Amino acid sequence: MAEIIGRALEALGHEAWIYADPHLAIDALADGFAHDLLIAERWMTGLGGDEVARWAKALRPSLPVILMSGVRPVVAEPARADAILCKPFSIEELEAVVDRALAASHRAN
């Protein structure tokens, strides 16, 4: 799924970094790698998306975080996620959620 989303984001004109291990994503943020957005699967084995989002927000509070979930209904926890992307979704839905998250981040900064 990460590879497909990464390709979709690149097709939409974004640069995408894909981390198969959520710990690597957290490490990249901790090392100061300048990501503009984080998209994580909410229900991953081991370190889930909610926990990744918690770490990301602790490291970079203004970083937009989108959590993906196939479970409905989904309620986003504002301290952790800026948006929830419910699966299945189209590339147009992905684009809309990413654009809104990035626009809100730019307005806040």
**Torsion angle defined by CA atoms of residues 24, 99, 109 and 28, in that order, rounded to the nearest 10 degrees:** 10
Q: What is the spatial distance between Cα 55 and Cα 61, in angstroms, rounded to a whole number?
A: 9
pLDDT for residue 109: 59
**For the segment 15-54, what is each residue's pLDDT rounded down to a tens digit?**
999 988 888 888 998 887 778 999 988 877 777 788 888 8
**CA dist list (Å): 108 to 26, 34, 38, 84, 102:** 22, 17, 16, 19, 10
Whose tokens are 């979709």? That residue is 8
CATH for 2-108?
A: 3.40.50.2300
Please check the confidence at residue 10 and state whether its pLDDT lies above 80: yes
Share of the chain above pLDDT 90, in %: 35
- Contacts of 19-28 with CB under 8 Å at 24 or more apart are 22/46, 22/47, 22/49, 22/51, 22/52, 23/47, 25/52, 25/56, 26/52, 26/55, 26/56, 26/59
Mean local confidence (pLDDT), 74-92: 78
Whose tokens are 């975080």? That residue is 65
pLDDT for residue 79: 53
Please check the confidence at residue 76 and state whether its pLDDT lies above 60: no
Share of the chain above pLDDT 70, in %: 89
